[in-house]
Structure 1
Amino acid sequence: MTTLAVIPARFGSTRLPGKALLEIGGMPLVVRVLRQVQRCRSVDRVLVAVDDERIASVVDAWGGEALMTPRDLKSGGDRVAHVARSFPEAEIVLNVQVDDPLVGPDMVDPLVAALTERPDVRLALLVKEIERAEEIDNPNIVKAVFSPAGEALYFSRSPIPYSRNEGGRWYKHIGPYAYRRDLLLAFSDLPQTPLEKTESLEMLRLLEGGETILVVPVGRDTIEIDTADDVAALERYLTEKGDDLR
């Protein structure tokens, strides 16, 4: 089995222009993510899918492998699929976000293992139990409910499940996606579905189409970099917890 990890890294960013090249702890953000993924035993090759020579140059300078992709691709997922088309030998393709610098082997390797153990399934993703009450009602936090077998039942921006009784537990989706290559290549050609349009969540397109999605619980959170406050939070984290990449 060959596993390809792709980190889509475009230069444009509404809130943080040039976000992929932001230096945090003396290292560009894109390089942090690259090095974290390179630590994963289940990954055979890591590529950074870029749309700008400035990012490509930085990746090359730090010993990584960058691949230029068209600037007009609609999303990171489309950028990952564009790369995957050139690698027919890749059975599993990981989409690892460039704004997720705390991703690591404890997140990536279990995703690959989940697909390896379930050859009938073509997509696996991570969920983390919500610990902060304010995240439950936050529409920017995607909540997930799943069966005892670890198969997704629904994703929503609303607080699901509804807390009619005490003792409820809520989970959110975080981190990378692990696709079988055939599903990744077919995904962008599938028409949007009613629930996807309502919630603005692409994973609902697959659930509505009858696709099984495995969810893999993890025990720690990530810090996604979207604002200057997120950068400050990551720098505090690295100071307090230590920087494994230095």
Structure 2
Amino acid sequence: MSDFHVLIPARLASTRLPGKPLADLAGRALILRVCDRARAAGAASVHVATDSEEVAGIVRADGGDVVMTRGDHRSGTDRLAEAASKLQLGEDEIVVNLQGDEPEMPSSCLRQVAGLLARESEARMATLWRVFDSEVEWRNPNVVKLVADERGRALYFSRSAIPHARDGGWPEAVARAHLGLYAYRAGALRDWQSLGASDLERLESLEQLRALSAGWVIVCDRADAPVPSGIDTPEDLAAACARFGRE
């Protein structure tokens, strides 16, 4: 599927890795590595959404496209919503949100999440999940879990270990780890700007609960390829440099 757009939110402010989008990843800026991955997916367009002229400059110098956004956005989704509005995308056009620190996101997953949303006319968002490596990971509150119905529609996202096994143990066969890759209809992103943060969102600190609380349908499926973690720390960057250096 190529009838989708990729937006990459990027900001310079990062507590654990200052100037992250411009970090050198095996001879190429991190943000450019992410753009490479987005273009490899065959999207109709790829734009970096940023408030940084420095980030914009390096992307443009590489031949990429940029949407300049405000600097006061509280989340990447808010930045995405402004960018989609500026691009004047049609209500049903599909936007994939690729985080600016995920240079190893499989291109197949970008196509998968876009196609998933395209097939589900009632859904406003789509996302992916993976199975857990262990019970310890399932119980880790830093790993977000999701529960879906038989049609693949998200019922809830939580930091808690769900679904709960009443008789003990852990529900290995049905436990799902959420991956932070989303596709949105452009109209949903425009509506996002008028949604207030929900009580559940505040409680769990999970933005996707704002959409569920508003009654939006979020369709989900198992990722068709392993999705590496993003780059958050200098150690993550060093490990990624080693992997890219072997390519």
TM-score in terms of structure 2 length: 0.90
Q: 2:149 aligns with which of 133, 136, 147?
A: 147
Alignment gaps of 5+ in structure 2: none
CA change 1:5–1:166 in 2 (3 A) is closer
Mapped pair 1:234 → 2:240: yes
**Which residue pairs with 2:72 in the alignment?**
72
CA change 1:132–1:22 in 2 (3 A) is farther
CA change 1:19–1:119 in 2 (3 A) is same
Counterpart CA distance in 1 for 2:124 and 2:154 is: 13
2:73 partner SS: coil
Question: How many matched pairs?
Answer: 240
Trace 1:4-15 onto structure 2 (pairs within 5 A).
4-15=5-16
Counterpart CA distance in 2 for 1:237 and 1:108 is: 21
Counterpart CA distance in 1 for 2:46 and 2:227 is: 23
Mapped pair 1:101 → 2:106: no
CA change 1:157–1:191 in 2 (3 A) is same
CA change 1:102–1:22 in 2 (3 A) is same
Mapped pair 1:54 → 2:54: yes
Q: 1:103–1:175: 8 Å Cα contact kept in structure 2?
A: no
* CA apart distance, 1:132: 4.1
Q: 2:5–2:95: 8 Å Cα contact kept in structure 1?
A: yes
Consecutive aligned runs of 4 or more in structure 1 exceeding 6 Å deviation:
none
TM-score in terms of structure 1 length: 0.90
Q: 2:106–2:226: 8 Å Cα contact kept in structure 1?
A: no
Q: 1:39–1:104: 8 Å Cα contact kept in structure 2?
A: no
Mapped pair 1:221 → 2:224: no
**Which residue pairs with 1:207 in the alignment?**
212
Trace 1:106-117 onto structure 2 (pairs within 5 A).
106-117=108-119
* CA apart distance, 1:220: 0.6
CA change 1:174–1:213 in 2 (3 A) is same
Mapped pair 1:168 → 2:168: no
Alignment gaps of 5+ in structure 1: none
**Which residue pairs with 1:181 in the alignment?**
186
The amino acid across from 1:94 in the alignment is V
Q: 1:101–1:223: 8 Å Cα contact kept in structure 2?
A: no
CA change 1:156–1:26 in 2 (3 A) is same
Mapped pair 1:138 → 2:174: no
The amino acid across from 2:241 in the alignment is E
**Which residue pairs with 2:201 in the alignment?**
196
The percentage of aligned residue pairs carrying the same residue is: 37
Q: 1:174–1:222: 8 Å Cα contact kept in structure 2?
A: no
Counterpart CA distance in 1 for 2:241 and 2:48 is: 23
Q: 1:175–1:222: 8 Å Cα contact kept in structure 2?
A: no
1:126 partner SS: strand
* CA apart distance, 1:214: 0.7
Counterpart CA distance in 2 for 1:233 and 1:126 is: 25
Counterpart CA distance in 2 for 1:76 and 1:139 is: 21
Counterpart CA distance in 1 for 2:65 and 2:101 is: 18
2:87 partner SS: coil
* CA apart distance, 1:64: 1.0
* CA apart distance, 1:125: 0.7
